[in-house]
């Protein structure tokens, strides 16, 4: 819902972004159209905007006369019918090796198995050696680190996870699948597993943050502070906000040519400044072949430069 600030502003905004005004789609009595009432004066200043392609989904829009959102403003209600479509991911699921587990005991196990099972014989062709080595690395890594299911990444904050947390979460999910048999024993087992999982998450997160704070207090951790600040700034950045382009008289621009001219005017003032000095009419009658890369300095320009010079 938006409110009209100046006369006609809402219509220019709707035209610029290809929106429809739901209040104007249906024929209503005056009491179902007036949104603002003050003494003897009444007006329609509150509107509901929607995308133009949602026109057939808008069933009704009216004002509730007996309800007030704020003093003197009536409640505007719109009825929409939305079709919920289940999105099925048709992309092929690609299983990936969990290389992020290459640390600690898992890294040592991977190293020992590679030294014992790796094809390190010399004297063969380079291509054959590379193929055997790459196959061995993938095989050992998939057995030691595991393989993902290839689903969509949800972007969860799991940098502090460990094996204990993962084990507790899996146990909780196993008890959660018993929802078909909602017996007292199953519910109690699930609640217990949920409490254990929360405790494991709390302990792991606290230990991870303690280690992080200790590392940030060192000289080597200064770079991590700036890296974390940049990541945080990118996460909270609003990329969906809509900014309108207006001209010098605060009028909303709709046409593409007007918007381009406004941007051209803005950058001209930004880079060239707003100096309103006297403009010189330069003589441009000489032949283009004599210009080379820079045109000739004219007498009028020299005179103007001497006038601007300070005495002494």
150 lies in a domain?
no
DSSP 230-298: HHHHHHT---S-----B-TTSPBP-SHHHHHHHHHHHHHHHHH----PPPP-----S-GGGTTTSPPPP
| Lowest-confidence pick of 42-56, 95-109, 116-130 | 116-130
**Model confidence at 283: pLDDT above 70:** no
When pLDDT is cut at 50, 70 and 90, the band that residue 237 belongs to is: low
CB 96 within 8 A of CB 74: no
- At residue 158, the 3 state secondary structure works out as coil
Domain that holds residue 275: 256-308
* Mean pLDDT, residues 288-306 taken together: 67
Number of domains in the chain: 4
Q: What is the DSSP string of 84-133?
A: -------SPP---B-GGG-SHHHHHHHHHHHHHHS----SS-HHHHHHHH
3-class SS of residue 76: strand
The answer to whether position 241 is within a domain reads no
Cβ 135 vs Cβ 187: under 8 Å: no
Q: Do residues 253 and 16 make contact, with C-beta atoms less than 8 angstroms apart?
A: yes
Say if residue 287 is in the same domain as residue 219.
no
**Is the pLDDT at 40 greater than 50, yes or no?**
yes
154, part of any domain = no
Angstrom distance (rounded) from CA 48 to CA 76: 8
Please check whether residue 304 is in contact with residue 298, taking contact to mean a CB–CB distance below 8 angstroms: no
Does residue 226 share a domain with residue 169?
yes
- The answer to whether the beta carbons of residues 172 and 193 sit under 8 Å apart is yes
Q: What sign does the dihedral 253-258-263-268 (CA atoms) show? A: negative
Domain match, 141 and 167 both: no
Q: Are residues 168 and 200 in the same domain?
A: yes
Q: Specify the residue for token string 């003897």.
A: 40
What are the strands of the beta sheet with 58-70, ordered from one edge? Answer: 41-43, 36-38, 73-80, 58-70
Residue 206 falls inside a structural domain? yes
* Same domain, yes or no: 168 and 230: yes
Asked if the structure places residue 249 within a domain, the reply is no
Domain boundary among 80, 112, 133: 80
Query: pLDDT (tens digit, 9 = 90+) per residue, 7-28?
Result: 567 788 888 888 888 888 888 8
How do strand 58-70 and strand 2-3 relate by DSSP bridges? unpaired
Q: pLDDT band for position 312 (50/70/90)?
A: low
What is the pLDDT confidence band of residue 241, given thresholds at 50, 70 and 90?
low
Determine the pLDDT at residue 89: 63
Residues 262 and 211 in one domain: no
Note whether 98 and 161 are within 8 A (CB): no
- For residue 5, the model assigns a pLDDT of 47
pTM of the model: 0.34
Dihedral through CA 15, CA 17, CA 18, CA 20, nearest 10? Answer: -80
Task: Please report whether residue 243 resides in a domain.
Answer: no
């Amino acid at each position: 819902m938006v409110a009209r600030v100046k006369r006609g502003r809402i219509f220019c905004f709707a035209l610029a972004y290809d929106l429809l005004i739901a209040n104007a789609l249906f024929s209503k009595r005056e009491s179902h159209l007036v949104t603002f009432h003050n003494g003897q004066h009444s007006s329609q200043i509150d509107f509901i905007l929607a995308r133009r392609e949602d026109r057939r989904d808008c069933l009704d829009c009216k004002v509730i006369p007996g309800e007030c959102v704020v003093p003197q403003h009536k409640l505007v209600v719109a009825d929409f019918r939305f079709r919920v479509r289940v999105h099925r991911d048709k992309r092929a699921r690609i299983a990936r090796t969990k290389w992020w587990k290459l640390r600690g005991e898992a890294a040592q196990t991977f190293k020992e198995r590679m030294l014992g099972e790796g094809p390190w014989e010399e004297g063969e062709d380079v291509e054959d050696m590379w193929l055997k080595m790459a196959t061995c690395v993938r095989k050992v890594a998939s057995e030691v680190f595991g393989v993902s299911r290839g689903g969509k990444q949800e972007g969860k904050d799991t940098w502090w996870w460990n094996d204990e947390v993962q084990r507790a979460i899996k146990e909780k999910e196993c008890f959660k699948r018993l929802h078909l048999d909602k017996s007292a024993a199953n519910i109690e087992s699930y609640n217990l597993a949920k409490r254990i999982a929360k405790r494991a998450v709390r302990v792991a997160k606290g230990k991870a943050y303690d280690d992080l704070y200790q590392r940030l207090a060192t000289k080597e951790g200064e770079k991590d502070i700036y890296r974390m600040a940049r990541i945080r700034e990118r996460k909270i950045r609003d990329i969906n906000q809509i900014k309108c382009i207006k001209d010098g008289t605060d009028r909303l621009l709709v046409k593409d040519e007007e918007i381009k001219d406004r941007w051209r005017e803005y950058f001209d003032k930004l880079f060239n400044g707003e100096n309103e000095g006297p403009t010189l009419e330069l003589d441009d009658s000489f032949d283009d072949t004599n210009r080379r890369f820079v045109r000739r300095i004219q007498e009028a320009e020299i005179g103007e430069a001497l006038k601007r010079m300070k005495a002494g």
